[in-house]
Structures are given as structure tokens and as C-alpha cells.
Amino acid sequence: MIPLSYFLILSIILFVLGTIAFFIKKDLITMFMAVEIMLNAANLAFITFARSANSLDGQVIVFFIITVAAAEAVVGLAIILLIFRQKKTIKSEDLTLMKG
Amino acid sequence: MTEIFWLIPFVPALSAFILAVFGKILPKKYVSFQACFAVFISFTISVVSLLGLLRISHENYPIVKTLFSWIHSGSFESNLSLQLDPLSAVMALVVSGVGFLIHVYSVGYMAEDKGYTRYFTYLNLFTFAMLLLVMGSNIVLMFIGWEGVGLCSYLLIGFWYEKHSAANAGKKAFIVNRIGDAGFLLGIFFIFVLIGSGEFTAINKAISGGVITQGAATLIAILLFVGAIGKSAQIPLYVWLPDAMEGPTPVSALIHAATMVTAGVYMVSRMNMLYTFSGVAAQIVAIVGALTAVYAATMALTQNDIKRVLAYSTISQIGFMFIGCGVGAYAAGMFHLYTHAFFKSLLFLAAGSVMHALSGELDMRKMGGLKKYLPLTYPTFLIGAIAIAGVPFFSGFFSKDAILTQAYANGQYFIWALGIMGAVLTAFYMFRLIFLTFHGQERIEPEAKKHLHESPPMMTIPLVILAFFSVVAGYIGLPVVLGKNLNWFGRFLEPVIRVSHEAHLEIGTEWLLILISVAVALVGIYIAYVFYIRNPQIPHALVARFPFIYKLLYNKYYVDEIYNAAFVNSTVKGSEIIYDHFDLKVVDGAVNGTGSATNFSGKILSYLQTGLLKDYALVFLLGAILFLGYLLFF
């Protein structure tokens, strides 16, 4: 039996990787993928705890997250596509319309 | 039938409401009919109520009808309740009766006016407010009516609001009345503080029960009288009434001669126990009345505007009424109010008829010799003038004589002398008016002469009816010398006006006083005849001889100018200074300061909005870490 902590450590590594990637990458698609990685890190943590506590609640939430992530991917990609059509760029530094 | 007396004020109110809401779509004929008919219903109910009142024994006075409890807050209580007693019945009769005739006259007079419906709305509203004033059973309702008539007066003086002078006259009347009303309101507050109830019966009970001291009574009475000075145009607040003549002439007749301006006299008579109890206040009323009676009459001597002469005459006659009230002869004061309502509204309506005939001419210097052109207006005008001058057998004689006799009988010789002086002047200026307008040579402008015509029957019929009453109205209050029981009017009012000490004179003295009154009236008329018919150069000679006095009188003692310099200008100047220094700097500064402070802080904070996605995400991350840290370690 693999100890619980292994799964959690993997989850943390994935989450931190996602965060770092979000901050250092410039184009929106990569940033978007970083966010997906963070979500899946959270999924892993949920499954882990669900298994150890022998409860179904965590698994149900994971399904929710997967569904929401799918929807989010649709909307997010659509937005990025439209931004590209208008600005001919998807670099996040170039998009400063909301500057005060 | 007497029970429905409470409907008297509400019929015109309903009519005013309908006219105000649907006036635009109603045909003109219907508007005239409804406005007149509503007042006629009030008049009919007033007559029925008065007859009913005569059959009820005195102990049951007043009949009070409480419609509902209006204000109820802590110990303060005020009902919407109306009362019927001899005093309010007489007033309701005068207001609705004269009011009805003036409504009918207005149908003819205002026929061509584009504000026709608006005019009748205001006139109905005024009738409602005035009837509420005289029939309210507590001082709060009286005040509501008091302010209501003030409002209607303002609206009707400024009826032709495109005319600058009319709009200004309306404002002047309103503002000057506010000064008086402030005193009146203070009086009401003192009544509630000291007596605890505004019901007239409760106030009378408190006075006879010794609840308030004489000093307190004097204070209340004087404060209330300040209100009466404003409303009834006495010294020093009379200045608004002559300017009020800017309104349509029927309005001058109804509001500024017959009814509203006499509200002060009604109020003093209603509170007669208070004034009698105070003593000092009654003396002040008599002095103010007597001074005004003479003072206003002197100003009437030199005016050339036909309506202004009548306006000053009104001020002077109200002074006479206050003399009556002040010397304790409230019934005589009310009697003069009642007869005055007839002959003064007659004079105004007849003057309106003259104006109508001359295409709106007001200046007597451009009249003269109108006698033969106005076969109905002239005799009615003459009857009015005879009545007001105090010639025997006409109504004004009986009432004026009653006041002067009572003044003399109560030992107020100085006031009596002033009254006699006022009577001479009254006879003189009224006949000056008659001679200048109807007699002598014609001085009519050729343009006006082309349209010269007698007024339509809608206008002349009310004149004839009023002329009839100007003659006979006095016969319900004959002097005591002719028999004690002939003063029906005085006896009718007795349940309301409790005469504490009836002054008696010897028969010989009474006859002498009557003779003096008669002589005074005839002398006044004779002087006017000599001055303006027999020797028309005398007035010019007098003017040349005493230019200073003439100028003083002609310019109305410069009182308007003095008030302007003393009060109006200083208020305007002071307001300007406050505007420049306080409004512009402090108030506007605070408002603009708030704005620019918000603007400035917004600009500083806007540097946080970089527009970069990463920066926002970083703040988000830091927030999440801080929150987690808080959860873990605290």
C-alpha cells in the first residue's frame, strides 16, 4: 500500500508547478494550461482524502470540478480566440486595457 | 336640516377640486354654472342653518360637528370639527351670500379672460377656506382657513402673472401676511402650552375658570392680534392691500373688501372673552383701529386710482371695526363688518363696471361725466357711497354710529374723536370719487369713449341686489334710542359675545351723538361738493398752498419707501453678503471640496490598476496565502 503522503506530495508538486508556470509564462494558452494543472492537483488531493476517509463526497466533488473545468476550457478558449482576432496577440502583457 | 351645516365649506371645496382636475375638458358654460351653484348651495345651507339656530335655545350653542380626530399626539389633540353659533352663522351667511353675487358678477367680468377656469377654481377654493376659517371650532382649523385664504389671495392678486406689477403685488401680500401669521402662530402655541386645548369652548372655559393669568391672556391676545394686523391690513402691516388691487376687480371685492380682510375682526370677536379679560390688549386693538381709520382715510384723499381709493377706504373701515371690538362693543364691530361687506363689495363691483365701460381705465382724472352713460352703475355706486359715508337710513350709518356711540359710552373719548375724524374724511373722499367719476366735465380718452357702454346684466344684477342690501341691511340693528329690542343683531350675537358691562348713556346724549354722526357725514359730502363741483379750483389752490402735505399724502407718507429702505433693502443686501461669503465660500467650498478630495484619492488609487493580469493574480495568490496562514497558525 502506497502511503497517503506520497499522493499528497505529488498533489503539492503539481500545484506549485502550475502556479509557477502561470506566473512565468507569457502567452495566455500556456497560462490557461497551468490553471488546468492546478485544478487537477486539487482533484488528486480530493481523491486521496476520499479514499482514506472511505467516503464518496470527495469523488463527487471531483466530478464537479472536471465538468466545470471542461466548461471553463470552452469559454476560456473562445475568449482567447476572440482576443487574438482583435489584437493579433495573446501575450498577457500586451493586454492592458484596464489600466487605471 | 341644521345638522348638515358642516357641509357649508365642503361644497365649494368639492367644486374647486372638480374644476382643478377636470377644468381643462369642461365647457366654459358648465364651469360658470358649477362654480356659482356650489356657492349658492353653501348660501342656502347657511340660511337654513341660521333659521334652525333661531329655534334652538341659547344653552345649546354652539352646535359642534366633529368629523374626525385629525391630530392626536401625546397631550396635543386637534379635531376636524365645525361649529355653528350666531357668530359663525352670520359670517357664513355674509361669505356665501356676497360670495355668490361676486361669482355671478365674475361670469360677466371675466368672460373674455383666458384663465377663466383657473379663476373660478381659485375663487371656489377661497370660499372653502374662508368658510372653514369662520366655522372651525378650534383655533387650529381657524389657522388652516386663515392660511388658505392667504394662499388664495396670493394666487388671485397675481392672477395676471405675466404682468410684472401683479406678480410683485402677490408676493408682497404673501410676505407681509407671513409677518403677521408668525405672531398668530406663536399665539396658538401659547394657547396650547397654557390652556392645553385649541377648542374655543375650552379656551373660554379656561378664561372664566381663571386657568390663565391676565398677563398670559394679554400676551396671547396681542400675538393673535399681530396676525389680525397682517390679515386685516392695519398699521403697520397695511402696505400690501393697496397693491393687492392689481388682481381682478371681483377679487378685490370679495377677498380684499368683503371677507378675507375682515377675518381679523372675526377672530377678535371670536376670542372676545380673551380680549375683555386682558383689558390691555383690547385697548391696543382700539388704538390701532382708530389710528388706522384716520391714517388710511387721509391717504385716500389724494389718490387718483379709483380702486386704490377704495382700498384705503377698506383699511380705514376695518379700523372702525377694530374700534368697535377694542372698546368692548364686539357686536357693533361685527355689525359694521356685515354692513361693510355689502356696500364695499358693491363699490368695488361698481368700480369694476366703470372700468369695464372704459376699457380698463382706472385713473379718475380720465373719467368725469359718466353719469349719463352708465344708468345702472351710477345709482348703485351712489348708494354704496351714501352707505359708507354714514348718511342716515342707509346701512353704514347704523353700524358706524353703533361703534362710535359705544366708544363714547365706554369713556374712550380720544378714540371717539379719531373715529369722528375718520368719518368726515370717509364722506369726503367717497364723494370726491363720485364727483370726479360721474359728474363734472368729461375727461374721457377718445379711444375709450368709442367703446363706452353699460355692463351686461350678469354684472348689473348683482350690483342692484347689493345696492338693495346696502340700504336695508342696517335695519336689523337699530340704535338703542329707538327701542331696546330693535337691535336684533346685537341680541342675536349675545350668546357668543358676553357683554360684561353694558355702558348706558342718557337718551339726550345718545341723540346728540347720532346728530354729530349725521352732521359729520353731511359736512364731508358738502365739502366734497364745494371742492369738486362748485369750485373745482379749490383743490388746486390747496395743493399749491400746502405742497408738502399734498406730496406726503400723495406718496402715501413714503411708507413703502421707508419699508424698502429699512427692511427690504437691508434684507436683500444682507442676503447678498451671505451669498457671497457663506454660500459661495463655505457651502459651495465644502461641496466642491468633497468632490475634489474624492477625485484626488481616486487618482492615487488608480495606480494600483495596472491592467496586467499577472499583477492581479499575484495579489490573489498573496491573499490566498495570507488567508491560509491565518487558518493554520491562529
Residue pairs spanning A and B at CB distance below 8 A: 30
A54: region left, alpha or beta (phi > 0 left; psi from -120 to 50 alpha): left
Q: How far apart are CA B363 and CA B306, in angstroms?
A: 6
Least confident of B115-124, B388-397, B436-445: B436-445
Q: pLDDT grade, residue B422 (50/70/90)?
A: very high
SS3 B448: helix
**A100 in a structural domain:** no
CB contact under 8 A, A100 and B613: no
Contact assessment for residue B265 and residue B318, using Cβ atoms and an 8 Å cutoff: yes
**A97 in a structural domain:** no
**A51 in a structural domain:** yes
Q: How many CB atoms lie within 10 A of CB B12?
A: 28
Query: Does residue B484 register a pLDDT over 80?
Result: no
Per-residue pLDDT tens over the stretch B272-297: 999 989 889 999 999 999 999 999 99
Query: Does residue B481 register a pLDDT over 80?
Result: no
What lies within 8 Å, CB to CB, of B278 at 6+ separation is B214, B217, B218, B221
**Strand pairing partners for B495?**
none
Nearest CA to B84 among B134, B120, B154, B42?
B134
Per-residue pLDDT tens over the stretch B150-209: 999 999 999 999 999 999 999 999 999 999 999 999 999 999 999 888 899 899 889 888
Q: Which of residues 597-626 of B touch A (CB under 8 A)?
A: 605-614, 617-618, 621
SS3 A26: coil
* Chain A residue with Cα closest to B609: A100
Q: pLDDT grade, residue B502 (50/70/90)?
A: low
Q: What is the pLDDT of residue B412?
A: 87
Helix axes B306-326, B280-300, angle to 10 degrees: 160
Q: What is the pLDDT of residue B560?
A: 87
CATH number at residue A44: 1.10.287.3510
**A98 in a structural domain:** no
Residues in chain B closer than 8 A to A31 (CB atoms): 613
Q: How far apart are CA B187 and CA B207, in angstroms?
A: 15
Query: Does residue B424 register a pLDDT over 80?
Result: yes
Residues in chain B closer than 8 A to A93 (CB atoms): 612, 614
Domain total of chain A: 1
Q: Which of residues 123-182 of B touch A (CB under 8 A)?
A: none
- Domain limits for position A27: 4-92
Query: Does residue B66 register a pLDDT over 60?
Result: yes
Nearest CA to B256 among B270, B243, B266, B237?
B243
Contact assessment for residue A31 and residue A25, using Cβ atoms and an 8 Å cutoff: yes
**A60 in a structural domain:** yes
**A14's grid cell:** 503539481
Query: Does residue B438 register a pLDDT over 80?
Result: yes
**A99 in a structural domain:** no
**A80 in a structural domain:** yes
Mean predicted lDDT score pLDDT of chain B:
90
Residues in chain B closer than 8 A to A92 (CB atoms): 612-614
**Strand pairing partners for B71?**
B78
Query: Does residue B96 register a pLDDT over 90?
Result: yes
Query: Does residue B547 register a pLDDT over 60?
Result: yes
Q: How many CB atoms lie within 10 A of CB B631?
A: 8
ipTM, 2 dp = 0.86
More confident site: B113 or B483: B113
CB contact under 8 A, A92 and B610: no
Q: What is the pLDDT of residue B598?
A: 95
| Share in percent of chain B as helix, strand, coil (round to 5) | 80, 5, 20
SS3 A33: helix
Closest Cβ–Cβ partner in A19, A92, A100 for B613: A92
Q: What is the pLDDT of residue B1?
A: 64
Q: pLDDT grade, residue B256 (50/70/90)?
A: confident
- B584: part of which helix (H) or strand (E)? none
* Chain A residue with Cα closest to B617: A23
Query: Does residue B130 register a pLDDT over 60?
Result: yes
Residues in chain B closer than 8 A to A19 (CB atoms): 621
Q: How far apart are CA B350 and CA B464, in angstroms?
A: 10
CB contact under 8 A, B611 and A92: no
Q: DSSP characters for B311-357?
A: HHHHHHHHHHHHHHHHTT-HHHHHHHHHHHHHHHHHHHHHHHHHHHH
DSSP H helical segments within B439-546, as ranges? Answer: 446-450, 457-472, 488-493, 507-529, 537-545
The answer to whether residue A92 neighbours chain B at the CB level (below 8 Å) is yes
Per-residue pLDDT tens over the stretch B401-417: 989 988 998 888 999 99
Q: What is the pLDDT of residue B47?
A: 93
**B79's grid cell:** 379635531
Contact assessment for residue B316 and residue B299, using Cβ atoms and an 8 Å cutoff: no
Listed ranges B53-67, B210-224, B363-377; the one with the highest mean pLDDT: B210-224
Q: pLDDT grade, residue A9 (50/70/90)?
A: very high
Residues in chain A closer than 8 A to B618 (CB atoms): 23
**A77 in a structural domain:** yes
- Rounded mean pLDDT, B600-617: 88
Q: How far apart are CA B488 and CA B533, in angstroms?
A: 40
CB contact under 8 A, B610 and A99: yes
* Chain B residue with Cα closest to A99: B611
